Amino acid sequence: VARLPPAQRGRMVLLVDDDDNCRKLLAGLLAPLGFQLQEAAGGAQAQAMLAAQRYDMVLSDWRMPDMDGLALTRWLRAQTALAQPRLVIMTASAFEEEKQEALAAGADGFLRKPIEQEHLFAMLEQQLGVRFQRTAAAAPRVPAAVFDLQQALGQLGAAERQALLASVQALDLRRSAIVLAGVATSLPQLAAHIAAMLEQHQYQPLCALLAQLAGEPQGEDA
């Protein structure tokens, strides 16, 4: 559990993503910490907001239908009359070349989806100079030391694993809950363990295991 000291609260952050679930997830992580948030559903909307208001940081998805995050970054950096917030690109791609492309376009940082809470907090500390006050996290419902997650996931049918992977990659927690309700009927311990991972925003390790069992690489689409 983390929080900002009172003197560091109130930073203005613009969340840019065409996926409502991604914006809701980020807002759910950041708003309780004391950040002021505004949302844009695409690059074009973000342009208008950036032209009208000053922000401390922009968290932008890479791939969006109207204007992608790279185009938004290049546009913003070319607007010398506008305030220049810190800008972090988010994408599901695992390619190092794309990280370098984002940085070359003018981005200050790069986060891979699904967004891990601690990675996000570390990026905020690095880019904004804030320092989170951390308290001890609650113990997981099912201790990892006595639970073989990979073996348990192997007991799921291929269709269930694919449905779970798709819902977590999309950060669709409602759909994940529906899938887990079905899993709980036959594998309640597995369902409880996955629910605990989702509550703690441990999306990447879960996706990695599910993709490994499916024999497919991690997604390249944001």
Domain boundaries, the chain: 2-134, 144-214
- Each residue's pLDDT, cut to its tens digit, for the chain (222 residues) gives 578 888 899 999 999 999 888 888 889 889 988 899 999 999 999 999 999 999 999 999 999 988 999 999 999 999 999 999 999 999 887 678 888 999 999 999 999 887 888 889 899 999 999 988 876 655 455 444 457 888 889 898 888 898 898 888 887 877 888 888 888 888 888 888 898 888 777 888 888 889 888 775 544 444
* Percent composition of the chain: helix, strand, coil (DSSP 3-state, to 5): 50, 15, 35
What is the reported pTM?
A: 0.66
Q: Are strands 133-134 and 2-3 parallel, antiparallel or unpaired?
A: antiparallel
The residues, any chain, with a CB within 8 Å of residue 218's CB and separated by 6 or more, are 92, 94, 207, 208, 211
Please give the CATH number for the structural domain made up of 2-134.
Answer: 3.40.50.2300
